[in-house]
Amino acid sequence: MPQAANLYYTETDLRPDAARAPYPIVLVHGAGGTCLHWPPQVRRLPGFRTLAVDLPGHGRTEGVGEQEIAAYAHRLAAWADSVGFSQALWVGHSMGGAIVLTLALTHPEKVRALGLVATGARLPVNPRLLESTAHAETFPLAVETIMKWAFSPAAPDRLRELATRRMQEIRHTVVHNDFAACDRFDVSSRLGDIHVPTVVIHGTADKMTPHYYGEFLAQAIPEARLVTVSDAGHMVMLEQPDIVAATLRDFARQVLTTEPPA
């Protein structure tokens, strides 16, 4: 798969007519995740060019990760230049949502629209998770706790098991830095400065970022709307991939096939 600006990413281009959708969709995973946290239904949206990136220190991208959300946003801005697109629909899950929100505030010229999945304007982290991810010997217990909180009770065991294995492959220092960066993140007072079409997708059974986080985003961002997914947890895109894919596809048809207003 391609790599640019030292970031690994997958790319699927399912545009029958490239002129219909000049902007790509970019998927940004959450803390301790990889591009594979986006299921195939979301990574392969019919009619669009979709790119799913591994952040530094995650998946197949080398490095030690970043310690601030703004640093991740800066890396993605440089990566976009390297790949060669001017704007995109940036879709972020959890920490990825914090990153694309920051991108919209610091590099608005690169953002055509936003998709915010199970995220918030601030992302406080349980102190127990910060402590347990900081040490190799307690990291397995931290991952176990995260997975208990990340899925709804109705989620199949195979989803938890696969997500557990994938997070255990990430260095504990990277996961710890991700959570510490999330804990310091807060753009609550700046959401009114984001002026691009935004769709917020949130599950009703999300324990890590409760549903009211999504409600706040939808109320505070001027051009935002909320899509609620019943009985889905924090990993809503894995639990309900068809609903999330359909929501993003319909939203992309609205915002990527027309030119932005002058």
The secondary structure element, H or E, covering residue 79 is helix 69-83
At residue 169, the pLDDT reads 92
Q: What is the pLDDT of residues 49-100, one digit of tens each?
A: 999 999 999 999 998 899 999 999 999 999 999 999 999 999 999 999 999 9
Domains identified in the chain and CATH numbers: 3-255 (3.40.50.1820)
Asked whether the beta carbons of 233 and 239 are under 8 A apart, the reply is: yes
Instruction: Render pLDDT for 116-130 as a digit per residue (tens, 0 to 9).
Output: 999 999 999 999 999
The whole-model pTM stands at 0.95
Measured CA to CA, the distance from residue 55 to residue 63 in angstroms comes to 9
pLDDT for 245? 98
Tens-digit pLDDT profile for residues 225-242? 999 999 999 999 999 999
Q: Per-residue pLDDT tens for 13-63? A: 988 875 566 899 999 999 999 999 999 999 999 999 999 999 999 999 998
pLDDT (tens digit per residue) in 145-155: 999 999 999 99
What residue spans of the chain are helical by DSSP H?
Answer: 40-43, 69-83, 95-106, 127-133, 139-150, 157-168, 172-184, 211-220, 236-239, 241-255
pLDDT-derived band at 262, boundaries 50, 70, 90: very low
